Structure 1
Amino acid sequence: MYDVVLLTLGSGRDAPGGGCGSGDACCGGAAEKAPGQGAAETGPGRAEERCATPRVPVLTCADTLTARGARVELVTAHSDAEIDEVLARLDAPPRPDGLTWPDPDSKTRLVVATASDGQLRAVVRRLVRRYAPPPSRRPADLPANRTVPDLPPVGVLPLDPARTGGQRDLAAQLGLPRDPAAVAAAILDGTPRRLDLLRNDGGSVTLDGALLGAADDAGRPLPWRGRVEVDDAVLSAGDDPLLACAIGNSSGYAQLDGLPLLTAADPTDGLVEVAVAVPVVTRSALGRKRVRIEVRRARGRAVAVVPRDERVPYLDDGVEGELSRKRSWWTEPGAWAVWAV
Structure 2
Amino acid sequence: MATFAMSDQLLVIIDPAARQTDGESVRIAKDVLSAGAAAKVCLPDGPAEFARALGRRGSRRPVVIGDDHALLRAVTLLHRERELAGCGLSVVPVGEAGETSLTQSLGVPGGAVAAARAVLDGTERRLDLLVDDSDGVVLTGLAIPPARRVPAPEPVASAAGRWYRTLLARTLPARPPRLPAVPAPGPTRLRVQLDGETLVDLDEPLESLTVTPGAPGTSGGGTAEVEFRPLSVGAEATPLRACGRTVTVTGPDFRYRADGAVSGPVRRRTWRLAEAAWGLVLPS
**One fold, TM greater than 0.5?**
yes
Q: Could you say which residue in structure 2 is the equivalent of 1:99?
A: none
1:277 aligns with 2:233: no
In structure 2, what is the equivalent of residue 156 of structure 1?
91
Query: Is the CA contact (8 Å cut-off) linking 1:83 and 1:126 kept in structure 2?
Result: no
Residue matched to 2:111? 179
Shift of 1:115: 2.3
Give the structure 1 partner of residue 276 of structure 2.
334
Please tell me whether residue 4 in structure 1 is matched to residue 10 in structure 2. Answer: yes
Q: Which residue of structure 2 lines up, in the alignment, with residue 236 of structure 1?
A: 200
> Structure 1 length as normaliser, TM-score?
0.63
Matched, 1:192 2:124: yes
Matches within 5 A, 1:80-159: 81-91=48-58, 106=59, 108-116=60-68, 118-131=69-82, 150-159=85-94
In structure 1, what residue type is equivalent to 2:13?
L
Question: Cα deviations across residues 29-87 of structure 1 (Å, max 9, x unaligned)?
Answer: xxxxxxxxxxxxxxxxxxxxxxxx432222111011122242230323512x3233122
Residue 92 of structure 2 aligns to a residue whose secondary structure is: strand
Rounded Cα–Cα distance in structure 1 between residues aligned with 2:77 and 2:201? 34
CA distance in 2, matches of 1:150, 1:281: 41
Name which of 258, 266, 271 aligns with 1:324: 266
Secondary structure at the aligned position of 2:267 is classed as coil
- Partner residue, 1:47: none
Q: Secondary structure at the match of 2:204?
A: coil
Say if 1:244 and 1:251 are closer, same or farther in 2 by CA, change over 3 A: farther
Match of 2:33 among 59, 65, 72: 65
Q: How far apart, in 2, do the equivalents of 1:314 and 1:305 lie?
A: 10
- Asked if 1 retains the 8 angstrom alpha-carbon contact of 2:249 and 2:268, the reply is yes
Aligned length: 245
User: Aligned AA for 1:159?
Assistant: V
Question: Could you say if the C-alpha distance between residues 222 and 54 of structure 1 is closer, same or farther in structure 2, counting changes exceeding 3 Å?
Answer: farther
Shift of 1:240: 1.5
Alpha-carbon distance change, 2 to 82 in structure 1, aligned in 2, over 3 angstroms: same
Q: % of aligned pairs identical?
A: 29
Alignment check: 8 A CA contact 2:143 2:210 kept: yes
- Which of these residues, 55, 66, 78, is aligned with residue 46 of structure 2? 78
Q: Indicate conservation of the 8 Å contact 1:64/1:181, yes or no.
A: yes
Distance 2:14 2:37 in 1: 21
Per-residue displacement from partner, 1:63-112 (whole Å, max 9, x unpaired)?
11122242230323512x32331222345xxxxxxxxxxxxxx3x12122
Secondary structure of 2:188's aligned partner: coil
2:178 alignment counterpart: none
AA of the residue aligned to 1:279? L
Partner Cα distance (1:247, 1:302) in 2:
10
Three-state SS of the structure 2 residue aligned to 1:215 is coil
Paired residues of 1:194 and 1:268 also in contact (CA < 8 A) = no
Question: Does the residue aligned with 2:103 lie in a helix, a strand or coil?
Answer: helix
Query: Structure 1 regions of 5+ residues with no counterpart?
Result: 12-19, 22-26, 28-52, 92-105, 133-148, 253-264, 283-290
Deviation (angstroms), 1:170: 2.9
8 Å Cα contact 2:14-2:64 kept in structure 1: yes
C-alpha deviation, 1:173, in angstroms: 2.3
Tell me, in whole angstroms, the C-alpha distance in 2 between the residues paired with 1:168 and 1:249. Answer: 19
Q: Conserved in 1, the CA contact under 8 Å of 2:254 and 2:267?
A: no
What is aligned with 1:144? none
Displacement of 1:332: 1.2
- Superposed CA offset, 1:223-256 (max 9, x none): 111110111442211212112211112579xxxx
Shift of 1:280: 2.4
Aligned partners of 1:210 and 1:318: how far apart in 2?
Answer: 8
What amino acid does structure 2 have at the position aligned with 1:339?
A: V
Q: Which has the larger radius of gyration?
A: 2
* Residues in 2 aligned to 1:194 and 1:266: alpha-carbon distance in whole angstroms: 7
For 1:322 and 1:177, how far apart are their aligned partners in 2?
32
Q: Secondary structure at the match of 1:243?
A: strand
Looking at structure 2, the residues matched to 189 and 157 of structure 1 have their Cα atoms a distance apart, in angstroms, of 13
Q: Name the residue aligned to 2:248.
A: 304
CA RMSD, 1 decimal: 3.0
Q: 2: distance between equivalents of 1:195 and 1:77?
A: 29
